[in-house]
């Protein structure tokens, strides 16, 4: 009799626990993960607006006559765009991107656009993953995003090497948003592992800015990417987190 009386109580406790979990899950945002992290300094944050506009420019069909430019324009020189790759060029292997030689900031930027909600190829990249399917550098990574990153690297490696040969003091920066940020993050790791193919570019000159990044690496690998010599390279700005990965941490 006493056991039977306890069953409704246990059911209520179980239901309340599930409801609490669902409530916290629905209210959880990416910024909660970085509540305890320090804010980026002004110098660290300085390239962010420029890179955001550069990523947005990938959405344009014609940079000479942009249709969706933000107030003040994209802040780039169309003549410095080395080349662009659309869905037709990538054949669904990766989202569209461009290579921009930023002479003002001494930077070679490969910027990748975010997910296109009407493109089946983007969904194919995103959904191509099973838990524990792919390993990289001692951790687990998203299979579809890694394959996209490897495809971009193989396609652009010689071009990037040629540009860096011409501008030996420039950095190499990968930047992306949403789906593109996952590709960019893994692309930075692939580039670090293949620095010999990039004229042995120093690790500290390879970096990645990932905005609203897709979760594409396991925790142990993410920690190694983010922290180097006890200096955090993942900062929280306002309510929106962005991810900065310097290659010497990979």
Give the model's confidence band at 39: pLDDT under 50 very low, under 70 low, under 90 confident, else very high: confident
Determine the length of the chain.
250
**Contact between 166 and 99 (Cβ < 8 Å):** no
Could you tell me which residue, 133 or 40, shows the higher pLDDT? 133
Q: Which neighbouring-strand residues pair with 217?
A: 141
Q: What is the pLDDT of residues 209-238, one digit of tens each?
A: 988 887 788 877 777 766 443 333 333 333
Nearest partner of 217 among 158, 146, 142, judged by Cα: 142
Across residues 169-178, what is the average pLDDT?
A: 94
| Domains with residue ranges and CATH for the chain | 39-249 (3.40.50.1820)
Quickly count: other Cβ atoms within 10 Å of residue 65's Cβ: 9
Contacts of residue 145, defined as CB under 8 A and 6 or more positions apart, other chains included, come to 125, 126, 129, 179, 182, 183, 186, 214, 216
pTM exceeds cut of 0.95: no
Cα 172 to Cα 113: distance, rounded to the nearest angstrom: 17
């Amino acid at each position: 009799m006493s056991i039977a009386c306890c069953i409704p109580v246990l059911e209520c406790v179980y239901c309340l626990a599930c409801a609490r979990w669902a409530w916290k899950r629905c209210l959880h945002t990416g910024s909660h993960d970085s509540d305890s992290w320090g804010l980026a300094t002004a110098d660290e944050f300085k390239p962010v607006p420029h890179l955001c506009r550069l990523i947005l420019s990938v959405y344009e069909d014609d940079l000479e006559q942009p249709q969706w430019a933000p107030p003040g324009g994209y802040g780039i020189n169309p003549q410095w765009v080395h080349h662009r790759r659309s869905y037709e060029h990538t054949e669904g292997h990766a989202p569209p991107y461009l290579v921009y030689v930023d002479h003002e900031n001494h930077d070679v930027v490969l910027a990748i656009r975010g997910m296109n909600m009407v493109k089946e190829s983007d969904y194919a990249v995103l959904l191509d993953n099973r838990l524990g399917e792919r390993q990289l550098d001692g951790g687990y990574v998203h299979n579809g995003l890694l394959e996209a990153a490897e495809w971009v690297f193989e396609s652009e490696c010689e071009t990037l090497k040629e540009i860096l040969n011409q501008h030996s003091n420039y950095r190499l920066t990968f930047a992306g948003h949403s789906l593109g940020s996952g590709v960019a993050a893994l692309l930075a790791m692939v580039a670090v592992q293949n620095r010999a193919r990039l004229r042995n570019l120093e690790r500290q000159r390879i970096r990645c800015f990932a905005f609203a990044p897709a979760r594409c690496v396991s925790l142990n690998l993410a920690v190694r990417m983010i922290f180097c010599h006890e200096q955090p390279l993942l900062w929280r700005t306002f309510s929106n987190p962005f991810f900065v990965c310097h290659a010497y941490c990979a």
